[in-house]
Amino acid sequence: MKTLEITNLKKSFRSNFLIRKYHILKGIDLSVEHGEIYGFLGPNGAGKTTTIKCILGLLFPDTGEIQINGQPADSIAARSQIGFLPENPYFYDYLTASEMLYFSASLFALPQAVARERIDLLVKLVGLEGREHLKLRKFSKGMIQRLGMAQALIQDPVCLILDEPFSGLDPIGRKEFRDLILALKGQGKTVFFSSHILQDMEMMVDKVGIIINGRISRQGRLSEMVAGSTQCYEIVCAQLSEKQLAQITPHFASRDNQFIITLDNEADINLVVESIIHNNGRVIAVNPVKKTLEDIFLHEMKEVQ
């Protein structure tokens, strides 16, 4: 079942006294299945945030259709199923986290008993337990992000829309936020997020969409994108001298008292391994080096240019 489906989404803006028309989205098609984490990737100005704003109803598309669980995204029923975390969430500094979440619950007309129970659960889920009565002006960037996630979950949505959720977080904060998103997936939530941090995206997503110049240049499951994408092979070995290795192959580098031999052809692996053993060397590992999400993204950028 598709939680989010976008068909032929187009959006343009006018400037210069309404004379010139800028086409930002040029026919976006994408779909996110229930329970998936979908990574929306693209350079600055590609149309990621514009797409998100169209999903949320903050912008009205020129043409196209957006559906949430089979319902039009601009319907009340659909919007009640979406939770949103902007790139830079801002809350009133003199509220506490608990007060902010009660305010968010009141916007959805949640009964007080339900709101209290849900807030207690969310505070624990996002890691703010013990800090719920602290004024927000004393919160760090990471804590604000956690609170933003809690308010996005207050009405128990089926779909989470996250715009650059790792922006400004330190490595520990990014790790904890990744774990939180994966935990939400484990609860059956569907997550659609944009990010510039490819390493985090690669560690989490089920599916990736790459948007360049307002068009989806490539889309699919990440596992399928990297499958069969071996760039080269690395043989890690030791107990040899550089002179011995140079006689076997010129393509090697040293690291931590070990040598790494790079081969472009799989057929050469057996020959090189036999040569290492013949010279009384030790083979530690033979690893295929596959393309990363960064490699795929840079390739798509070059194809468009």
pLDDT for the residue numbered 170 = 82
> Rounded to an integer, what distance in angstroms lies between the CA atom of residue 46 and that of residue 27?
13
231-290: CATH topology = Alpha-Beta Plaits (3.30.70)
Q: Can you give the pTM of this predicted structure?
A: 0.82
Q: How many angstroms separate the first and last alpha carbons of the chain?
A: 36
Mean pLDDT of the chain: 89
Place of tokens 């393509």: 251
The confidence score (pLDDT) of residue 120 equals 92
Per-residue pLDDT tens over the stretch 93-132: 899 999 999 999 999 889 999 999 999 999 998 888 888 8
- How much is the pLDDT for 140? 86
Instruction: Give the pLDDT score at 53.
Output: 94
pLDDT at 228: 63
Tokens of 129: 């337990």
Domains of the chain, by residue range, sit at 2-226, 231-290
Strands (E), 74-130: 82-85
Q: Which tokens sit at 120?
A: 């207690």
Look at residue 206 in the predicted model and tell me its pLDDT. Answer: 93
One-character DSSP codes across 172-235: HHHHHHHHHHHHHHHTT-EEEEE-S-HHHHHHH-SEEEEEETTEEEEEEEHHHHHTT-EEEEEE
Instruction: Give the pLDDT of residue 4.
Output: 95
Flag residues of the chain having pLDDT under 50.
none
What is the architecture of the domain spanning 2-226? 3-Layer(aba) Sandwich (3.40)
